[in-house]
Amino acid sequence: MQTLHDIAPLRERLHEHRMAGRSVALVPTMGNLHEGHLTLVDRARSLADVVVATLFVNPLQFGAGEDFGQYPRTLDRDRELLTARGCDLLFAPAVETLYPNGLETQTQVHVPDVSEGLCGGTRIGHFDGVATVVSLLFHLVQPDIACFGEKDFQQLAVIRKLVADLHFPIEIVGVPTVRAEDGLALSSRNGYLSPGDRALAPAFYRTLSRCGDALARGQSPADALAAARQALQEAGFRLDYLELRAPDLAPFDRNRHVQGRLLAAVYLGSTRLIDNVAVALPQAERG
C-alpha cells in the first residue's frame, strides 16, 4: 500500500489507475481504525479494482468543546491494518493541505433538510463540516464508488443527498453496522468509555432493539418511544435524542410508512454514543 500526504502525487497516481481503466472505491475515515472501518475496506475491495482510504481528522466537523484535540491519531497502526486488508492507497493529508487558507474563510457545503435535527440539532455545523470535507475528497479522488457505515445513518443520508444534488457520478454504498459481541456498535470513541461505562454500554442497543420489537408487535410509536426513553434514563444514560424517522429521515407518518429507522444518541459520562436500528410496523398500520 502506498501512503500519500499531498494532493499532486495523489492525483498523479489516480490518473495512472484511470488511464489503465481501473475502477476506484473510496473509504473516507478519521483514523483510529477498528473492524467497522475495515469492513468498509472489505466491501470496497469487492466492488472496485483500486481501494483508496483517506485518514483525516477534520476540524470543520468538530464543534466548540468537542474532542478534536483529543481524537486519537494512530497513523502507523492504521497503515498496518489497511495494508493487511488489501487497501491500495492511503491519503493522509495535513489540515493545511486540505485547508491551505485556514478554516475561517474556507468555502463550506451545506446540505439542507436531512442535516437538520437529530445529530444536526445538537452538533451545530457538524454536517456542514462533513459535507465540505467529503466534497473535497470526492473532487480529489474522483471515485466510482464510496463506502460509508450505516452506524452514522444521518451522515449517510446527508452524503446521499449531497451526491444527488451536486450530480457527483459516484455510487454511495451503505455498509451495515459492525458490532461487538455484546451488541455495542463499534466506534473510535468507545475507547473513551471507563470500564464501568463500557459494561453498561450494550444496554443502549438492547433498548433500541426492544423498542423496534414493540413497534413490530403493534405498539404505538408514542408509547414505544416513551418506554425506551425511560429505560435508557433508568439504565444510566443521559439522552440526547431518540426518534423514529422514515427510512429517508423524513418525519415518520404511521399512516404512510410501514418501514422506519430508530435513531438515538446518548451520553455515558462524557462519551457520546450513537446508534440506529431498522424497524417495521405491522401491515395493518398502513393508511
Instruction: Cite the active site residues.
Output: 37
Can you give the three-state secondary structure of 223-273, one letter per residue?
HHHHHHHHHHHHHCCEEEEEEEECCCCCECCCCCCCEEEEEEEEEECCEEE
Q: How far apart are CA 12 and CA 16, in angstroms?
A: 6
Q: How far apart are CA 27 and CA 220, in angstroms?
A: 39
State the helix-helix crossing angle for 35-47 and 75-84, rounded to 10 degrees: 40
Cell numbers placing 90 = 492511503
Q: Are 204 and 232 in contact (CB under 8 A)?
A: yes
